[in-house]
């Protein structure tokens, strides 16, 4: 598919998780609509798009803002939704192309990590049956509620900068310090894989290249944002590593 800017040669890779590696956005939709359905309501894709990539509580507040007549506060809503989600997490599958790409990058020792807005509790539940993939990251995973890291949620660049600096040892600086010339150069060597609009924005604001793999429903919506992805793919199956200076797949 066409790209919006020339390719860069990248040296490290950061993955989002929900909707990018795992087909978990579908479960968020099922659980949310089970709660809303009790009140005759339903989450549309226009509403869902504003939730994707954001921390859980912020996403919950966004959803409820469209339904002011529902007699639930955000804590009650999240409790009900989580009850449904918890029964479904053990069934969530990997999305196409994930296993091939992650194992390939691991084989060639490409530095990589996961930067997800998911709560650590949910992350552990939804990935418990995908430990072969998780082991490839060697624990280099940041979740949105990790208290040891002070982060603003996506579309702020914080999670990608902190993940690259903390787990990959890349001198990218940080979200709350002055950005130096060397930081800019190191940020430009990173490649972010995202499915959410806010995640794509976060990656670009971090000064990294972004491969955006959005749900087709997301592409149907207006996206009036300044940031644009470097590449849009239908699936990670369509990713060609050598276009980014990475080792090509083995035949």
Looking at the annotation, which residues are catalytic? 16, 18
Q: How far is CA 69 from the centre of its chain?
A: 31
Indicate the SS3 state at residue 159: helix
Phi, psi of 163 (to 5 degrees): -65, -45
How many CB atoms are closer than 10 A to CB 9? 12
Question: Residues 146-155, buried b or exposed e (16+ Cβ, 10 A)?
Answer: beeeebebbb
In whole angstroms, what is the distance from residue 175 CA to residue 124 CA?
27
List C-alpha distances in Å: 79 to 17, 60, 206: 22, 11, 33
In whole angstroms, what is the distance from residue 152 CA to residue 141 CA?
17
Determine the Cα angle at 77 with ends 75 and 81, to 5°. Answer: 115
Q: Which residue has the tokens 């310090």?
A: 177
Q: Which of 161, 152, 56, 156 is nearest to 115 (CA)?
A: 161
141 beta partners: 114
């Amino acid at each position: 598919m066409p790209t919006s800017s020339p390719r860069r040669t990248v040296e490290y890779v950061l993955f989002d998780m929900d909707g990018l590696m795992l087909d978990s956005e579908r479960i968020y939709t099922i659980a949310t609509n089970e709660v809303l359905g009790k009140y005759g309501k339903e989450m549309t894709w226009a509403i869902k798009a504003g939730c994707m990539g954001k921390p859980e509580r912020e996403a919950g507040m966004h959803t409820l803002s469209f339904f002011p007549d529902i007699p639930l506060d955000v804590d009650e809503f999240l409790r009900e939704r989580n009850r449904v989600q918890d029964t479904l997490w053990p069934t969530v599958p990997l999305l196409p192309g994930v296993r091939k790409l992650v194992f390939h990058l691991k084989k060639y020792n490409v530095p990589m990590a996961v930067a997800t807005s998911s709560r650590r509790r949910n992350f552990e539940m939804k990935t418990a049956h995908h430990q072969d993939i998780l082991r490839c990251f060697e624990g280099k995973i940041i979740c949105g509620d990790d208290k040891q890291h002070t982060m603003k949620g996506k579309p702020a660049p914080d999670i990608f900068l902190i993940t690259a600096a903390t787990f990959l040892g890349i001198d990218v600086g940080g979200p709350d310090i002055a950005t130096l010339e060397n930081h800019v150069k190191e940020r430009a060597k990173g490649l972010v894989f995202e499915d959410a609009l806010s995640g794509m924005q976060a990656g670009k604001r971090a000064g990294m290249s972004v491969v955006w793999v959005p749900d087709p429903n997301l592409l149907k919506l207006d996206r009036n944002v300044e940031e644009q992805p470097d590449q849009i793919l239908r699936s990670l199956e369509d990713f060609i590593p050598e276009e980014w200076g990475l080792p090509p797949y083995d035949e």
